Structure 1
Amino acid sequence: MTRVLLMGLMASGKSTLAQAISAASGWPAIDNDVLLERSTGSTASKLLAAHGEQHLRAAESDVLTLILSMPGPLVAGVAAGTVLDPRDRERMRSGGHVVWLRTPVSTLVRRVSRPGHRPFVSSDPATVLRAMAAEREPLFTEVAHQVLDMDSLTPTSAARRVLDAVALRS
Structure 2
Amino acid sequence: MSHVVLIGMMGAGKTTVGRLVARRLGRPFHDSDEAVEARTGRTIAELFAEGGEPAFRAVEAEVLRDLLATEEPAVIAAAGGTVLDAGSRAALRDAGTVVWLRAEPALLAERARTGDHRPLVAEDPAGMVARLAGERSGLYQQTAHVVVDVDQLDADEVAEQVIAAVEEGAR
Normalising by the smaller structure, the TM-score range is over 0.9
Instruction: Tell me the C-alpha RMSD between the 2 structures.
Output: 1.3
8 A Cα contact 1:8 1:100, kept in partner: yes
Greater mean deviation of Cα atoms: 13-22 or 24-33:
24-33
Please tell me whether the aligned partners of residues 112 and 118 of structure 1 are also in contact (alpha carbons under 8 angstroms).
Answer: no
Query: Residue deviations 1:71-93, cap 9 Å, x none?
Result: 23210100111101111111101
Which portions of structure 1, spanning 4 or more consecutive aligned residues, are displaced by more than 4 angstroms? Answer: none
* Superposed CA offset, 1:109-133 (max 9, x none): 211224xx23543321111111111
Match for residue 142 of structure 2? 142
| Unmatched 5+ stretches in structure 2 | none
Q: Secondary structure at the match of 1:52?
A: helix
Residue of structure 2 in register with 1:75 after alignment: 75
Provide the residue aligned with 2:36 in structure 1.
36
Q: Which amino acid aligns with 2:27?
A: W
Equivalent runs, 1:1-170 vs 2, <5 Å = 1-114=1-114, 117-121=115-119, 122-170=122-170
Q: Distance between the aligned counterparts of 1:69 and 1:151, measured in 2? A: 32
For the 8 Å contact 2:44–2:117, the answer to whether it is kept is no
Shift in Å, 1:43: 1.7
Structure-1-length-normalised TM-score = 0.93
Task: Render the CA deviation track for 1:20-54: whole Å, top value 9, x for unaligned.
Answer: 10221111111212210111111222111110111
Task: Report % sequence identity.
Answer: 36
What amino acid maps onto 1:12 in structure 2?
A
Unaligned runs of 5+ in 1: none
Residues 12 and 103 of structure 1 are in contact (CA less than 8 Å); yes or no, is this contact kept in structure 2? yes
How far, CA to CA, are the matches of 1:23 and 1:108 in structure 2? 25
- Tell me, in whole angstroms, the C-alpha distance in 2 between the residues paired with 1:78 and 1:54: 17
